[in-house]
Amino acid sequence: MRGENFYRGLLRILNEKFAGLEFLANAWEKTSGLTRFSKSRIHQNVHEEKINLTILVTKDNKIAVGTTNNLSADSLERLRESLEEILKNTEELGYKFELPSPRMDYPYERVAESVRKATPEDRAKIFDEIVKVAKGTDVYGYIETSLDELCVMSSNGLCLYTCISSSSFNTVVICEDGSGYASGSSWDLKELDWEEKVKKAVETAKKSRKPVDIDPGKYTVVLSPEAVSEIVQYFAYFVANGYYHETKTSPSVKFLGKKIGPDDLNVIDDPNYPGQIPLVFDMCGMKRESFPIIENGVFKNLMYAYGTALKFSKKPTPHTITLDNLDVPYPFNLVIKPGRASLEDLLKNVDKGLWISRFHYVNLVDPMNAIFTGMTRDGTFLIEKGEITRPVKNMRFNIGFFNMVENITGISKEHTSVATEYAPIIAPYIKVEDFNFTSKSDH
């Protein structure tokens, strides 16, 4: 951790080395450790420290972007030369570019000592505990601790600094031919909720042994938070995306502003939601606060990355994820808000349905109709007459997102954090009618 002063000093150096050019820069340093285990043994155990400086320079309505992790004077001078050469050899943009407005704010630090001081041994001890909890089964997964420092700076006076800690884990528990899954994230390693979750995964693994073959078709499903987060994440990226909307390659052109789901369906991007690991500004320095994407069942807002907003005369939203491509928005702190139902409520009245623990390899089949495909894994069960009865073999679904949300008939009160590659997603259980399974696998 280099601290805010280091980045203020870096801004002074950039002002000197890039004098005569306007610039917007992101400096991001990550110091992380990740312990991975397989068959109840630690098989990969890594540590990384790396800084990335990305700088966008602009002149005469042209832009060029460079990235380096070498902050020496020589390296920055070489980078400037490369970027000037790009500017010299390229034409003007097709829209009027300007740097984001300068903004000052207090530095935001949320660093847990448990993460700042985390050692490989600390992660290994959690692994030891997971093995104990899952006694009699095999466990596979990871535990990660990470410290991220980010500073957004510009030649016109932007200088925002944040430092956040995070920890996350996932575990697949395997018991004969059954499996279960758990994941979670927290800013504080001490609050990482692995124990109860792994216990549940062990239970799922044991219950999912000897799965039976059933025919694909339309079923009522109860989706776990893991499964819900996977689908909604894809929706947010592909459908609530201002760039795809403006280029008319998204079903948002049909559905934006419309009621698409039940009143208690609320999808937000909110860094301050309990359980989130907050990113308080985006890569253009825009302040991030609660941002509704679906509100009371209405498809309310699209995310506009900075370049898309300039290009299409829209207001940018705080979702610019990279300076390399100013058309890419991302909801860093996605939350699917809890509803009112208990898990029992979701199960009751299901005559014949499926309980889905997790999806695998979800992908977009038809962008214009937001049709997604993917497989079930790590615990798929038949629900009969309101009760979870038997494990079933994995199946492939093909589902239109808007059909799916139209068919939501329950959202649970219970909700939890799900670990993803970036920040966690907070999600509840959701019950959906007529979920379309189209083929099956052999396990």
Window 419-438: residues binding another protein (CB under 8 A): 421, 436, 438
Tell me which of 26, 32, 154, 204 binds another protein, using CB under 8 A.
32
Q: How far is the CB of 46 from another protein (least distance, A)?
A: 4
Helix (H) or strand (E) holding 132: helix 120-133
Residue 343 in the binding site for another protein (CB under 8 A): no
User: Could you say whether residue 326 binds another protein (CB under 8 A)?
Assistant: yes
| Terminal CA-CA length for the chain | 46
- List the Cα angle 223/225/226 in 5-degree steps: 95
Among 8, 103, 259, 360, binds another protein (CB under 8 A): 360
Q: At what angle do helices 73-89 and 4-17 cross, to 10 degrees?
A: 50
34 makes contact with another protein (CB under 8 A): yes
Residue 73 interacting with another protein (CB under 8 A): no
User: Among 87-95, 205-213, 271-279, 281-289, which window interacts with another protein (CB under 8 A)?
Assistant: 87-95
Identify residues 88-117 at the interface with another protein (CB under 8 A). 88-91, 93-94
Residues near 166 by Cβ (< 8 Å), separated by ≥ 6? 115, 144, 145, 146, 148, 185, 186, 187, 277, 423
**Which of 10, 25, 223, 375 forms a contact with another protein (CB under 8 A)?**
375
31 neighbors 1 (Cβ within 8 angstroms):
yes
Whether 262 contacts 424, CB under 8 Å? no
Asked if residue 82 binds another protein (CB under 8 A), the reply is yes
Site for another protein, residues 126 to 155, rule: CB under 8 A = 127-128, 138, 140-142, 144
Q: Which is nearer to another protein, 143 or 341 (CB)?
A: 143
Please state, in angstroms and rounded to a whole number, the distance separating the CA atoms of residues 215 and 197.
30
> Segment contacting another protein (CB under 8 A): 27-35, 154-162, 234-242, 292-300?
27-35
CB of 358 to another protein, least distance (A): 9
Nearest CA to 265 out of 334, 331, 337 is that of 337
Positions in 207-266 near another protein (CB under 8 A)? 247-249
What's the min distance (Å) between Cβ of 45 and another protein?
Answer: 5
Span from 36-44, 185-193, 380-388, 410-418 in contact with another protein (CB under 8 A): 36-44
Measured from the CB of residue 112, what is the shortest distance to another protein in angstroms?
20
Q: Pick one of 26, 114, 185, 394: the residue that binds another protein (CB under 8 A).
A: 394
Give the residue, chosen from 288, 337, 377, 431, that forms a contact with another protein under the rule CB under 8 A: 377
Per CB under 8 A, the list member of 15, 44, 101, 272 interacting with another protein is: 44
Minimum gap (Å) between residue 171 Cβ and another protein = 7
Any bridge partners for residue 391, and if so which?
Answer: 381
For residue 250, the minimal CB distance to another protein (Å) is 9
Interface with another protein includes 200 (CB under 8 A)?
no
Q: Which stretch binds another protein (CB under 8 A): 11-19, 219-227, 323-331, 337-345?
A: 323-331
375: helix, coil or strand? strand
**Minimum distance, C-beta of residue 106 to another protein, in the bound complex (Å):** 29
Q: Smallest distance from the beta carbon of 259 to another protein, in angstroms?
A: 22
Question: E strand or H helix at 308, and its extent?
Answer: helix 306-311
Among the listed residues 137, 147, 148, 191, the one whose alpha carbon sits nearest the alpha carbon of residue 169: 191
Q: Which is nearer to another protein, 69 or 272 (CB)?
A: 69
Nearest C-alpha neighbor of 303 from the set 248, 258, 347, 243? 243
Taking CB atoms within 8 Å and a gap of at least 24, the contacts of 113-116 are: 114/165, 114/167, 114/188, 114/189, 114/190, 115/145, 115/146, 115/147, 115/165, 115/166, 115/167, 115/187, 115/188, 115/189, 116/1, 116/147, 116/165
Query: Helix, strand, coil % (nearest 5) of the chain?
Result: 25, 40, 35
Query: For 300, what's the count of Cα atoms within 13 Å in the CB-facing half-sphere?
Result: 15
Closest-CA residue to 217 (of 434, 427, 368, 53): 434
Number of residues that bind another protein (CB under 8 A): 92
Contact of 160 with 105, CB cutoff 8 Å: yes
CB of 238 to another protein, least distance (A): 11
Tokens of 22: 């306007």
Maximum alpha-carbon separation in the chain: 72
Residue closer to another protein, measured from CB, 82 or 349: 82
| Cβ-based nearer residue to another protein, 40 or 409 | 40
Q: Which of 171, 229, 252, 320 binds another protein (CB under 8 A)?
A: 171
Among 1, 19, 67, 101, binds another protein (CB under 8 A): 67
Q: Contact region for another protein (CB under 8 A) — 12-20, 282-290, 363-371, 383-391? A: 363-371
Binding status of residue 442 toward another protein by CB under 8 A: yes
Determine how β-strand 371-376 pairs with β-strand 380-384: unpaired
